[in-house]
A and B are shown apart, each in its own frame.
Chain A
């Protein structure tokens, strides 16, 4: 069996009175890609955003149950959210570079984390852009605004930005949903590269994408985890009928 990075047990999430996640149990393994699929509103984004506690900003949100990262409870009082988010990076659905230069976007995470060493920052920016397969396209114009890049490039820039602070886990919330097929292919290729170094959790609407890139797949519906298994099993021989119906596109 693989080494567990994140362990989720009896995890519930509430928006006020509404229970958005119901008794979720699953393990996320080191250096594997977990794909989360399910119809809109099934709680997959809520689940993803719980892992780095991005839901903290929502008024009236609360959780119970446990979610452990390296054995530490993510929702415990002792957990330093800033520390957690350095460990668990995130890439959003819509690329959201800051209105700053390409260089400053990637350097941002280093700077807010107190890195002042210029040489180190320059080195790290280059390395991150290379890891995000963007370096060759931008190396001669690092000081131009990030908004001058194409949509696909902006999304890879956001990935580079997340990589710069050396997270251990990378959360991706439909990172390719706003991209054209070529840019999507690039991002998918990138994910295959990245899993050598990182544990990746990716939410996707695109079934083929989940099948292509993930090692494990979790199928969520109406806040419940319906089925969780190796991707190959889920897509070839699902245990539950409803999973099969969703995967074959009978509803969605």
Chain B
């Protein structure tokens, strides 16, 4: 009995450690493969120059500026509508909806979370794109707005369910007090519960953001992927993720271009890592305060 228990214990401890090891391994691989890139590229130029032209006959340039801006743009655009809609929906579900509606909608939102991003990207090409091109009189609708809308849709389930959890865990004594003062359910959730659950809701939005900034397939399909500095939301954009996805398959191994793509991956890894860490910290602060 004792041996069996120790064995199981050991097995799962190994699993847990393995997860940590994999994370460290990925980071080490990215760093290790990125370093050679900077033998030829100036790191300042890499981070701040806009031009990304690794296959030029004249002079290769490796500036990720336009990709950074593109990634930030589609992410910001996505959050711009996903955050208000997501929080509003969470508020509605946690306090206003009847139990029947809530029981019906919650599983549907979870299903939405499970839709493969390639399917959402598909919708961007055949559905959202044509609407955008007609509305704005553009030759095609593959641009930052399209990507933002789709990414927002993808972030919604995360934002809704985590915000809803945060709102539901606010003590019932607050909502009782508010309702007893003649506040409506909407007023109660917006004015009392939301401020009380704010850190949880912020963490939910940041996790949604983490998903969005790392998303590849949707931006690859729906944003047009022109490697130039976008001027506005109707421009085609190419994010860091789509650049890696497009180019890594065709790049000759162990060239500066190859290493530079890993460096792009490293930047992306650091960004998402920071977002996740930050949301984790916000969440812990919140749980600590309530406990």
Contacts and interface: CB of A to CB of B under 8 A. Distances in A.
Interface string A146-169: 000000000000100110010000
Interface stretch (A106-114, A179-187, A212-220, A237-245): A106-114
Contact of A112 (B99, B173, B176, B181): B181
B3 interface: no
Interface stretch (A12-20, A62-70, A84-92, A196-204): A84-92
A52 B180 contact: yes
B174 A86 contact: no
Contact of A108 (B171, B191, B196): B191
14 contacts: A57-B179, A82-B182, A85-B181, A89-B181, A90-B180, A92-B180, A98-B192, A99-B195, A108-B178, A108-B191, A112-B181, A112-B182, A161-B177, A162-B181
A109 B196 contact: no
A112 B178 contact: yes
B184 A59 contact: no
Interface residues of B, number: 18
Contacts of B181: 85-86, 89, 108-109, 112, 161-162, 165
A96 interface: yes
A94 interface: yes
Nearest to A53: B179
Interface in B155-187: 171, 173-174, 176-184, 187
Scoring A52, A54, A98 by chain B CB atoms within 10 A of each residue's CB, the highest score goes to A98
A90 B195 CA distance: 23
A83 interface: yes
A96 to B, nearest CB: 4
Given A99-B195, A108-B191, A54 B178 contact: no
B177 A98 contact: yes
Nearest to B95: A57
Scoring B177, B181, B192 by chain A CB atoms within 10 A of each residue's CB, the highest score goes to B181
Contact of A162 (B176, B180, B187): B180
Given A86-B182, A94-B173, A108-B178, 19 more contacts: A54-B176, A54-B180, A89-B181, A92-B176, A92-B180, A98-B177, A98-B196, A99-B174, A99-B195, A108-B183, A108-B191, A109-B183, A112-B181, A112-B182, A112-B183, A112-B184, A112-B191, A165-B181, A165-B182
